[in-house]
Amino acid sequence: MKLPFFLVDAFTSRPFAGNPAAVVPLEAPLPDGVMQAMAAEHNLSETAFVMREGAGWRLRWFTPKAEVELCGHATLATAFVLARELNQVPPFTFQTLSGPLVVEADGPRFILDFPARLAELATPPAGLAAALGATPREVHRARDWICVMESPEQVAALTPDHAALAALPGAERVIVTAAGGQGVDITSRFFAVKVGVPEDPVTGTAHVQLVPFWSARLGRTSLVCRQASARGGTLWCEWRGDRVRMAGDAVLYAKGEIHLPDAI
């Protein structure tokens, strides 16, 4: 069995930046175990599997260790592949574990419309500051832990102990963030070693939590956001009540074929 394969750098307009995602278009479903094994083989933050379903599309995302319920950069990468490589016409409606997600085209960028997640002040798990290597000014919790640091420079300089983060109870995913940064409104980084992603280069799901949080604090609903990983990436975001819209660029790095045994 041969399957088409695309490697796309998302939330960037140039290769070797942003967040790389594998996109595998399917004509028929694959067993979950095969998709998980393929994601482990690709060893990227996420592999997206997309298949036509009625008038829309079915979309699933796998990290090297687990299926996830929501993923921004691999959704952007999938929309890019459908529009630019497979001649499909946006907008696209994807049926996912998080419900229907719509992606529109806006010139060279794509706009993701995702559910917002609100954060509340929370008591962090013991050992979080030591694992990060710095003490947050505040800690909040939405789906993930949100650690507010003193400055974007402090966010960028962090060298966390990933083994210590993995050992923390109840800390599957950790966001560190601060207001400001060079030419942007907010800066962040994202760590999720428990699901096989020590540091995610650019994370859409982090921003469905960060954008409502910072919009309320900064007093504006439109934010330019920078994820300060080694690769780095930029998102143009807008908070609309129970939704967050995220715009970003993408660029094709590679495409080819996956060869699987016929009996799987």
Cβ 43 vs Cβ 66: under 8 Å: no
Q: What are the CA-CA distances from residue 74 to residues 77, 85, 120 (Å)? A: 5, 15, 27
State the residue for tokens 């074929």.
257
Residue 218, classed as helix, strand or coil, is helix
Eight-state DSSP code of residue 196: T
Task: Point out which residues pair with 115 in neighbouring strands.
Answer: 243
39: phi then psi, degrees, rounded to nearest 5: -60, -40
Cβ 46 vs Cβ 21: under 8 Å: yes
Q: Would you name the residues annotated as active-site residues?
A: 46
Calpha distance 92→227 (Å, rounded): 26
Calpha distance 199→196 (Å, rounded): 9
